Structure 1
Amino acid sequence: MLTSSCYTSDNPQCQQQKKQRLQILKADEIDALYCLPTFNQTEREEYFALDDKLLRYVRSLSRLETQYYFVLYLGYFRAKPVVPQFHLTQVRSDIQYLSQRYFLGKKPQQVSLAKATKSRVISQVLAQLEFSTLTPKHSAALQSRLFDVATIYSDPRYLLDEALAFFSQQRIALPGYSTLQSLVTTVLSSERQRIEDIMSKNLSVEAVQALQSIMENKGELSNLSEYRGSARGFASSELERELNTHQTLQRLYPTLKALLSLLQLSRGNMIYYASLVKHRSLYKLRRTPKWQGLLYLVCYLYFRYRENNDRLVTAFCYRVEKHREAAKAYARQRVADDLEAVRTKLKEAGSILRLFTDHDIEDSLSLGEVRKRAFSLLEAADLDRVSQHLCQNELDLRDYQWQ
């Protein structure tokens, strides 16, 4: 049902062109876009409706078959802005409806229109609906628009949707699918060439070798892949892996950042290119053209390094907080232990104090002798703990935390 001859042609040149075009839509999506509409009774009344002016124009056409074709093309184009390919034998239900409503039961002969007549009828239908076909001027304007869009987001389907929006806004009949493929392919090829020129001129030989080494080494790329868990779940092995990733990418990151600044890619494009590394197999990544594959890897590593930094900072903050909580718990336990020890030693501390009020002890007794007697009642460490408690009245939590 497509207007482009290359879509179904067996011509070798057309087949070669088809291979070079991007496969943007699946077969069922192409069919939904271009297939001949199938109307129910209500839809026939809507899409085949003719006002007095249109009806007079239809009846002014010379042959009955031409009149039928005009009304059929008009209704189908109203349903979707595509010029379909069909024969009268395919639309018998619609012919039956039209014969009863507009042609007093007269039915056309089952013939195809001559090429020149068909082209004239389609032009008349488009003129009545104030539509036009795609011209070189339109193509140039659309390409210019798609070039701008490609710098924002280079997904082929996104560009195709932009092209469809352009046709709708400009009231242009939708061209064949192969034409859309060629437009999108041309725009993406131009964008890739722009990117390749910048990368080849601004990436040093050492940087290219480093990137190619990462791409060729499956183990290294796997080690650099995104950690799926939470930063709070970092075991020592995962934390070590992230640190190794940081060490590997730290040397490359300034080069990647400077290159992306020169490329002037939108964030959406960068995310799109990075996703191709995440979701494609390494085999497919290696088979992409050199600079295209390196571009995907550059975007992927750029985001991976930033994510790596975020995860390391989060992990560091989490570990520090856990350490601080452990220190607090340790301090509380030490305070509790020391208070319990003080309570059990206070009795002995009282005996030590009596050494200074005992009149049986002569004043001539040396301090050393007094200390010996005190330490026989209470060990030096316990005595120090009790005295600290009596002097301060409370234990210093921060001191224990630092311990």
Structure 2
Amino acid sequence: MRKELKMNYVPSCETCQRNKSATSRPSGPLHPLPVPDARCDSVAMDFIGPLPEDDGFNCILTITDRLGSDLRIVPCCTDISAKDLATIFFREWYCENGLPLEIISDRDKLFVSSFWKYLHRLTGVKLKLSTSFHPETDGASERSNRTVIQALRYHVERNQKGWARALPLVRFNHMSTVNASTGFTPFQLHCGRQPRVIPPLLHDHSSQTTEALDAAKVIERLETDIMEAQDNLLLAKMNQAYHADRARGPERVYPSGNKVMLSTFHRRRDFMQRGDHRVAKFMVRWDGPYRVHRAWPESSLYELELPGHSNIFPKFHASLMKPFIPNNNIAYPSQSHEEPEPVFDPETREDQHFMDRVLDHRRRGRGWQYLIQWKGFGAEHNKWLPGARVDNLEALDTYLKEHSLRDTS
């Protein structure tokens, strides 16, 4: 009996699968993006903010060449529109480097807007968006953001003012610093030479006779530096993948149609409301199960069939999932879900199910919504319904009485 409970009954308990923290290492190896073929072919964009307002700005836009030849640090505001973002990109990047072949970004509301997608369709630029809660996809921007934030700490005072005026100096210092991955400074890859500084660090008398420089040799040296930077960047990506995979478990492949549990680590805010004094310690660690709709195991990427009330992007990295262990309904009928057939309502001419109980409530606009659990169904079928649809049900009265709430419908 002990062996059966340990190997079959407890692992298939849905409540245990939701509430127990994972003890195994996250699965799915690191899949670095390919090295760009040329400078400015692939750029990464991201926002830093919101920040304390300074000179009318409260946000920073970083545009990073993934080959390491250029970085643009642009002060902006969090309330800009997609049209404003396109204008900034045209002024700060296109007028300096031309159009890239692809842009890597996260799923910020500006990057997924219809205007931004239509603009890229017209220009021929391919827009690649990162998966949900997986910033490793946009590693170039994340690293640029970290460097910019670290440098700005040296320029802001206790009142955190003056960061906007320091951005040009921060960019110059970044462009003059040797990149650990490419082995070159961005200035060297972008201009073919190091910048002249004041005062000069090295007294290079050969620079005084610029007419003696052979232009062909300068161009040849620049091309050689770019090819060497590509080799160094590829080697750095291989080393990063090697060290990252040491802390990850073996690859788990989830074929289409399988059910998985999804981590709630990055979605704790969905379980919290302002002023309700809830704590993350008591929140479920996994929810689901959700069915795998499409799978790309070569990149550890999976698309899940999420409920209709969920607004998050349905593609996730394998590290955010774990296999769902189904219950043996014959051996353990008490843990099974009957999932009864719907009952046809002649008044509404719709199929309806019986409600079991109300689980939670939240404010939406001027009204309230309630999380409903259906009788005979698992937690993956729970649904948020407006108060007008449940205000006459006994389950709502019971919920309000148990939680000492007034009628919020």
* TM-score (structure 1 length as normaliser): 0.28
The answer to which structure has the higher strand fraction is 2
More helix by share: 1
TM-score normalised by structure 2 residue count = 0.27
